[in-house]
């Protein structure tokens, strides 16, 4: 379990954040944030005042990485590139998350290492991680300034023959009660979004197309909603292209493997982060070594799938 609770004995009265810094090898900012989140427990109660003193028996909750030997395909002194498998979170979403890519990132490079961008759990492919805080700030700023070029590959429903561009604005749905609560929306009052799409091949038997996707903005579910909007949703997408009931069953983790295949068309989201291009001193162009094209074999035959374009 990555988050653990351990007991410690503080022999002499000590300022709380200093003790956390020394014990967990944290920076002052990390230690203060750790305490502010209630992860230092004294006399049975979480502390929140970082400058308070502690003495005697305490408990601390902290992240202890437990990697699964996913090694970077490239690394230098500042950053690492991983091939993230589909179905794996980048960061733990709760304190009970049993594994995320952060486990391997920090097992390799220590507590200051971190993923620098977001990839959906079911998306596979290239993940860029920093080895220290200076690199993290620099790389995250590159993403924010749109100075890192990304490309994706996707297997989508139906036949696409011509390149196209989508600039449909995207809005996060704030209504937690209606049947679109799981989705982002195309809406006039949404945020500006821009994706280019280039069809690469078509499989007539499956009625699916392989598409190269180039997002110029980084909105939540951007590629997924833009393809869904033109009625060519990504195969295996448990949110876009399937019924509300099927999406609900998936999110509630009560959907069987067979239902997943029939309702969504594949056992995983058929979206893959294929390349990254950026400048960090030198110019880097890194391409995924995974043969994503061959994963077409995971797609359910058209006559067996309930996946649709509505």
What angle, 0 to 180 degrees and rounded to 10, lies between the N-to-C axes of helices 16-24 and 28-36? 120
CB burial class (10 A; 0-12, 13-18, 19+) of residue 3?
middle
Kind plus residue range of the DSSP H or E element containing 135: helix 133-144
Is-contact 268 119, C-beta < 8 A? no
Q: Do residues 31 and 20 make contact, with C-beta atoms less than 8 angstroms apart?
A: yes
* DSSP 8-state symbol, 301: P
**Tokens 């179905």 map to which residue?**
87
Cβ-Cβ contacts under 8 Å for 140 (sequence gap 6 or more): 116, 117
**Among candidates 305, 169, 252, 271, which has minimal Cα distance to 244?**
252
Would residue 120 show up in a list of annotated catalytic residues for this protein?
A: yes
Q: Catalytic one among 104, 120, 157, 237?
A: 120
Return the exposure string of 107-119: e unless at least 16 CB atoms fall within 10 Å of the residue's CB, then b: bbbeebbbbbbeb
Q: Which active-site residues does the annotation give?
A: 120
């Amino acid at each position: 379990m990555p988050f653990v609770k351990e007991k410690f004995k503080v022999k002499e009265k000590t300022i709380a954040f200093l003790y956390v810094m020394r014990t967990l090898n944290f920076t002052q900012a990390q230690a203060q944030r750790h305490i502010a989140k209630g992860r230092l427990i004294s006399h049975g109660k979480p502390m929140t005042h970082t400058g308070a003193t502690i003495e005697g028996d305490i408990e601390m909750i902290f992240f202890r990485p437990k990697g699964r030997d996913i090694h970077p395909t490239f690394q230098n002194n500042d950053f690492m590139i991983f091939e993230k498998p589909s179905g794996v979170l980048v960061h733990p979403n709760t304190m009970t998350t049993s594994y995320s890519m952060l486990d391997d990132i920090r097992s390799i490079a220590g507590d200051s290492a971190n993923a620098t961008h977001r990839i959906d759990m079911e998306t596979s492919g290239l993940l860029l991680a920093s080895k220290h805080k200076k690199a993290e700030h620099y790389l995250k700023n590159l993403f924010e300034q749109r100075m890192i070029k990304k490309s994706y590959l996707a297997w989508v429903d139906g036949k696409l023959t011509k390149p196209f561009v989508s600039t449909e604005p995207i809005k996060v749905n704030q209504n937690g009660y209606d049947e679109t609560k799981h989705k982002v929306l195309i809406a006039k009052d949404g945020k500006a979004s821009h994706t280019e799409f280039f069809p690469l091949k078509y499989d007539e038997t499956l009625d699916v197309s392989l598409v190269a996707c180039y997002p110029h903005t980084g909105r939540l579910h951007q590629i997924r909603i833009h393809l869904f909007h033109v009625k060519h949703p990504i195969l295996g997408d448990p949110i876009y292209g399937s019924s509300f009931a099927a999406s609900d069953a998936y999110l509630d983790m009560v959907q069987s493997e067979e239902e997943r295949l029939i309702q969504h068309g594949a056992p995983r989201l058929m979206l893959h982060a294929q390349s990254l291009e950026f400048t960090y001193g030198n110019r880097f162009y890194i391409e995924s070594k995974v043969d994503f094209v061959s994963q077409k074999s995971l797609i359910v035959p058209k006559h067996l799938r309930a996946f649709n374009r509505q």
